[in-house]
A and B are shown apart, each in its own frame.
Chain A
Amino acid sequence: MERLSVRLARAVLSYRRLSLFAIVAVTAFFALGLKNVELRTIFTDLLPKNHPFVQTYTDHPNFGNPLTVTIMVKRKDGDIYNPETLAKVWDLTRDVDLAPGVDHDQILSVATEKARYAEATPDGIDSRPLMEDHPPRTAEEIAEFRSRVLKSPNVRTFMVSEDETATLINATFIERLLDYGETFEYLDDLIANARDDNHEVYMAGQPVLTGWVYFYQQQMFGIFAITAIALLLALVFYMRNIVGVVAPLITSIVAAIWGFGFVGWLGQPIEPLIMVVPLLLVARSFSHCVQFTERYYEILHHVKDRRRAAELSLSVMMAPGVLGITTDALGLFIIGVAPIPAMERFALFCGFWALILIPTNVFLTPLLIMLLPKPRNVDRMVGSGNPESGYRGIRILLGLIGRLSIGKMSVLTAIGVATLAVVSFGKVLDIKIGNPVEGSNLLWEDSEFNVAVANINAHFPGLNTLEVVFESKSPDTLDRVMRKAETVLTMHRLQHLLESQPNPPEASLSFADYLPEANRLFSGGNPKWAPLDHNDAAVSAAAGALMVGTGPKAFLHVADFEQRNGTVSLWYKDNKQETVDEALFQARAALEIIGTEFDDFRIRLGSGTIALQQSINDTVDTYQWVILALLNVVILITCSYAYRSVVAGVLLLIPVNLSNLLLGAVMVEMGIGLDVNTLPIAAIGVGVGIDYGIYLLSRIYEEYQLRKDMAAAILTAVTTTGKAIFFTATIVLIGIMPWYFLSELKFLADMGLLLVMVMLINMIIALIVVPLLVWLIRPRFIDSKKLLVSEGIDLSALSAETDAKAAAPRANAAEAARHREIDLNEMALARP
């Protein structure tokens, strides 16, 4: 009875046109979905949705101002109190009001009407904008403006720096109307034009960060193009024939159409940052294709018949190919367990793409090989032609590597590997969670954005906040909890407790902070009227007074539109993990004292950059291990089944986990911590490693089945399949390397660096540790003849058969017709 893979191989190649038509039809279907493909960042989708901090943020998105852009105008040679600077602030403020998607009611600077100076006079409340209807021009006007600023405590703290050299313009955007790219382009032009010899202008905020990512997208695609060209050149250089270049190219393009078409049909946007992984999948597609063509060359070298070689290659490579791809895909799907929507979409998109490499790669490659002209350099490719060939050099190198795993060297190698594992384990214990930088880790420390964040943080309470949210319990939408005495007093108590700590926050702000001043002004102006009576009527009256001539939109950063929920905002000097830990510790300790459940409201910790950063770190910390554990389980099950041996599963898991351990150690050495960007790396690394392991183990098995000589089997496997591994790892390295050197997006550079390390480590470990383990353990499955993963081929038998045929040209037509039916059976018989 023929194996399924043999029958399938024969069917696919016997019905070539039907097979090709099916692939073309499916490709056309997915191509129709391409028009719906959208690259878009959804900020909230980058957050772990199940984390209590993120849930707090989702319920109260306005606290912490994620949609606010902050522009700082800094006078280089003096303070802001001069006509030129104040006119610049006025003009910038008016121009920001023209930005696409801006909420006209939420623009705040010293030039807007919302920045007010208020004073009680005998005639009433003298509440005027800090600036009149034009920016101050004369010395008197500037002096008056400055005195108004000094009398306005909130402006003094949050709008004008302590050294009086800088001032802020804050603008909040309406998410529904916000096109990050368009808005960023507009604002970036604005601040570029506002800079001059005397002024530096900085811009920060989440919309700006996203804008920068969009901006670098073009560069990213440029780098991807370099990668694609590098991959292609490597392929051309290595293969030097049409089949070897065109087949991987077409299969990768078809896979890309299927992958992108799939998300197009799903109607889900693709996060631009994860585009690095599809590119890696293209490289993986190349890799699988190269594994296949390498094997095809070997067989073709012996059988001399394209059709037969393709069929045999498919039957031989199908099982390890399908197994490798399936484990790859499962690894990517498993990333979806991390409850981060962008990761879930990533897992679905990339997992699907990886999985479709089965039809678009495993089956399409032999079909293309049949269509394309027979390569002329097969002898050289398999290293048996020109002795000067560079391929011989690779074989020699691989032969040396192979010898590390056999004979007496195996003991030394084992000791070396074990030592490396122990050292790595010790290192990995020091790995940090998170990569805190001032600003965003997506960009370089000296990027314009991060420099802007650093400068704004240096002059103002800053951009790193922890939001402690006070949330109404009442279902009545008209029950305004923020206007109640208990809420306001509790807010004040919390602020007092936190600001009394040894390391207090840089500043704190709540809705409650605004009320005493309103109370004072409307009570006649005497400071003695500032404190609020401890009853709802007094608090509500002060809140009512606060709203006169303005509206709840002016206070959305501290209380929601309906004034049912509010926040205590706490500013911290940076977002280093020590600061984050201290901030959360202090907040939790204060809430222990105050309590979190009240009659009308509950207190939730928390939101803001500090809490959201921690939520990502918590998730990474947990799910990094969950993903790794699940990957191990899945690989153990699939590989144990394929090789009919749990030992085989374990044997394959050891090198991939060792690689992961080494990667961790290297990250510690390089000062890179675990974060959301590294989350998929482990899965990708394990996918790559397991591929190499499967191909290599299968080849060792095949060779052992033929020779019953473990040392020879290992050496042959390492010098043949190992060569394909070496080549595929190398071309991916060549392709990815430019990311690190060329990208202004640190994320891409980091990913590039990590992926280079992943490919390198996995290649080395696979080539050394898999043969070593087989040599040392001598697993029983190696002797078994009932594995799913391999259909052994006796290449020398094939050669002999071909030679015999060449020597007997009289072979008649009837024999030729029978040829197709018997060839694979012959292979089975040829096995010892």
Chain B
Amino acid sequence: MRIRKYDRDFSRRVFMEKSLKGIAAAGVLSPLWPEIAKSGTIDKAYPDELLSIELYTKGQVKPGDVITADNVDVVKDLLDPIAYRQVKEMGRRINIVETTRDVTKLFPHEYLEATLRNAGRARFDANGNVVTDDGSPWIGGNPFPNAQTGEEAFYNLTLSWGRHDESVYAVRDWDISPNGTLSYQYDFVWAEQNTVGLVAKPSPYQAGAEDKLRYQAVWFTSPTDARGTAFLNTWYYDQRKFPDLLGYLPAFKRVRNFPTNQRFEPLVPGITIFLSDAWAAGDPMLTWGNYKVVGTKPHLGAVSGNWTGKTNANWEREVHGGPNGQTFFEDYKELIPEVLVVEAEPTGYPRAPVGKKRVYIDMRNMMFVSYLTYDRRGEIWKSFEPAFSQYKDGDAAFMDGGHPLWSWTHVHSHDVQSNRMSRFVQAKQITGGFGPEYNIGPSIYDRYLTAQAIRRFGT
């Protein structure tokens, strides 16, 4: 029997109260994170109305339904303004799936274990960086699983982007023009290796690289005129410092230093993503400021059921919508009981064209599900909307070692002012034969993350 007290209005009252008081503590009926630590599920932290889209919408939308322009108004309060506009005006469809209650499906296994293991040990040092209770660099997992502030929530995003010690993503990207035609198409490899906060190693630190946070490289394998172009970032643990940036253009046979503080420019021609946009935390955290929690609310996010390994040999996706029927990927969203809405301003960039960013963070795993940037007039500029999933569909699965992989599957990056869409997938294989690799150990460094490596790929 349902307790009437816990109806939808009750949840709304709780969220409103939290927002007004600036409280970020997750959970409506009981604190979320202790519940996850105890049972691995979120059932007791939220009322049924926040765990079921059908109950939330009073039966108007249920798992298996498709959100279109005809019924999007029913879930308008569960979408960010751009996603709503995409469905309402541009023909986007959103498939609805059940809410994930088992949080182990929302994390890489080792990362969740580290989060649980290290809970409560994170502190801020005098400079604003996160350290452990003994003053050391962070030791793995989300430092603030029950984030209370915007800064805490953002450190969960910043300190480990992909939540594996090593990740190699094979990415296939399509850039769609305002009239719906294909403007650019790229295949590229994205490799990242954390040097602190390691979760699958005996030590949380890579010896000799404790002052770093990560190495990250991107190199292009297609089209021909971009093949071999590569960039290598070396991130410092100190979030006040800009990363080092090396670049290699195969035609010129030299690895070059590039300016690194120009982070509001597209990564490559035609793409809408800035360096600043990576993982909603593409800049050193302390180069931004005025972090603040602006609210908590339920939200529709693509966090499960998005792996297409069983239906598409290369993990690519059906497309639809827009003027030529190819602007959006088919994707699957679920009702997230609670997201934290955090805003920040680019205080360290006197010339930034961005006024602020607003990030919607899933309270269950502290991963962002939607990210908007606004221009300095306060008009919405871009939306960066990722989709995540456990890479398991029935009997088909892709493993990151001993467990089914949890990772991102695809992204929509939409510049709504110039109406250009970049959408990309994590593919099984791209031009050049590259495919995804996870937790592959220190060899990733020599293979992908040195000046010699990026030069080698260009030859």
A-to-B contact residues, CB < 8 Å: 94, 97-98, 100, 103-105, 107, 111-113, 123-129, 133-134, 174, 176-177, 477-478, 480, 483, 522-524, 537-538, 540-545, 547-553, 561-563
Contacts and interface: CB of A to CB of B under 8 A. Distances in A.
A127 B259 contact: yes
A547 B268 CA distance: 7
A633 B224 CA distance: 63
Contacts of B225: 480, 483, 540-541, 543-544
B269 interface: yes
Contacts of B271: 551
A547 B351 contact: no
B269 A563 contact: yes
Q: Is the interface of B mostly helix, strand, loop or mixed?
A: loop
Given A97-B376, A177-B417, A548-B247, A104 B183 contact: no
Contacts of B270: 551-552, 561-562
A133 B226 CA distance: 31
Given A537-B251, A544-B251, A127 B258 contact: yes
Interface string B349-362: 11101000000000
Contact of A547 (B264, B269, B418): B269
28 contacts: A98-B377, A104-B381, A104-B417, A112-B351, A113-B351, A124-B247, A124-B257, A125-B256, A125-B257, A127-B259, A129-B262, A133-B349, A477-B177, A480-B225, A522-B251, A522-B256, A540-B224, A540-B225, A541-B250, A542-B251, A548-B247, A548-B249, A549-B262, A551-B268, A561-B177, A561-B270, A562-B177, A562-B183
Interface string B244-285: 001101111011111101101110111100000000000000
B184 A545 contact: no
Interface in B325-383: 349-351, 353, 375-377, 381
B258 A97 contact: no
Contact of B258 (A94, A125, A129, A134): A125
A288 B264 CA distance: 65
A107 B247 CA distance: 26
B229 interface: yes
B262 A113 contact: yes
B305 to A, nearest CB: 32
B419 interface: yes
A550 B265 contact: yes
Interface of B: 177, 181-185, 223-226, 229, 246-247, 249-252, 254-259, 261-262, 264-266, 268-271, 349-351, 353, 375-377, 381, 417-419
Top-10 shortest CB links A-B: A541-B251, A124-B257, A124-B256, A104-B353, A551-B266, A522-B252, A540-B225, A547-B269, A133-B350, A125-B256
Given A134-B350, A547-B269, A552-B270, A123 B257 contact: yes
A43 to B, nearest CB: 19
Given A111-B351, A124-B257, A125-B258, 4 more contacts: A105-B353, A124-B254, A126-B257, A483-B225
B419 A176 contact: yes
A549 B184 CA distance: 17
A79 to B, nearest CB: 24
Nearest to A100: B377
Contacts of B183: 477, 561-562
B376 A98 contact: yes
Q: Is the interface of A mostly helix, strand, loop or mixed?
A: mixed
Contacts of A98: 376-377
Given A133-B350, A177-B417, A524 B254 contact: yes
Contacts of A480: 225
Contacts of B262: 113, 129, 549
Contacts of B250: 541
Contact of B252 (A105, A126, A483, A541): A541
Contacts of A477: 177, 181-183
A545 B271 CA distance: 16
A544 B351 contact: no
Nearest to B415: A105
Contacts of B349: 133
Given A133-B350, A562-B270, A104 B375 contact: yes
A551 B269 contact: yes
A522 B271 CA distance: 22
Contacts of A483: 225
A126 B268 CA distance: 19
Nearest to B178: A176
Contacts of A541: 225, 249-252
Contacts of A134: 350
Contacts of B417: 103-104, 174, 177
Contacts of B181: 477
Contacts of B256: 124-125, 522
A127 B247 CA distance: 13
Most B CB contacts (10 A, CB to CB) among A105, A537, A544 go to A544
Most A CB contacts (10 A, CB to CB) among B258, B269, B418 go to B269
A218 to B, nearest CB: 25
Contact of A128 (B177, B182, B259): B259
Nearest to A540: B225
Contacts of B184: 478, 562
Nearest to B376: A98
Given A176-B419, A478-B184, A561-B177, A522 B269 contact: no
Given A112-B351, A124-B257, A176-B419, A478 B185 contact: yes
A519 to B, nearest CB: 8
Most A CB contacts (10 A, CB to CB) among B268, B377, B381, B419 go to B377
A39 B376 CA distance: 30
B223 A478 contact: yes
Contact of A103 (B185, B351, B418): B418
Contacts of B252: 522-523, 541, 545
B254 to A, nearest CB: 7
A522 B351 contact: no
B434 to A, nearest CB: 20
A129 B352 CA distance: 13
A552 B258 contact: no
Given A103-B417, A477-B182, A478-B184, A538 B269 contact: no
Contacts of A547: 268-269
A544 B257 contact: no
Most B CB contacts (10 A, CB to CB) among A98, A104, A477, A542 go to A104
A205 B268 CA distance: 30
Contacts of A126: 257, 259
Contacts of B251: 522, 537-538, 540-542, 544-545
A125 to B, nearest CB: 5
Nearest to B351: A113
A174 B38 CA distance: 53
B243 to A, nearest CB: 14
Nearest to A541: B251
Nearest to B231: A548
B249 A544 contact: yes
Contacts of B261: 133
Given A98-B376, A522-B249, A478 B265 contact: no
B402 to A, nearest CB: 41
Contacts of A127: 258-259
Contacts of B246: 124
Contacts of A97: 353, 375-376
A538 B251 CA distance: 7
Contacts of B182: 477-478
A526 to B, nearest CB: 12
A562 B269 CA distance: 9
A425 B271 CA distance: 62
Contacts of B249: 522, 541, 544-545, 548
A94 B418 CA distance: 20
A501 to B, nearest CB: 34
Most A CB contacts (10 A, CB to CB) among B177, B251, B258 go to B251
A829 B256 CA distance: 106
A236 B107 CA distance: 86
Contacts of B419: 176
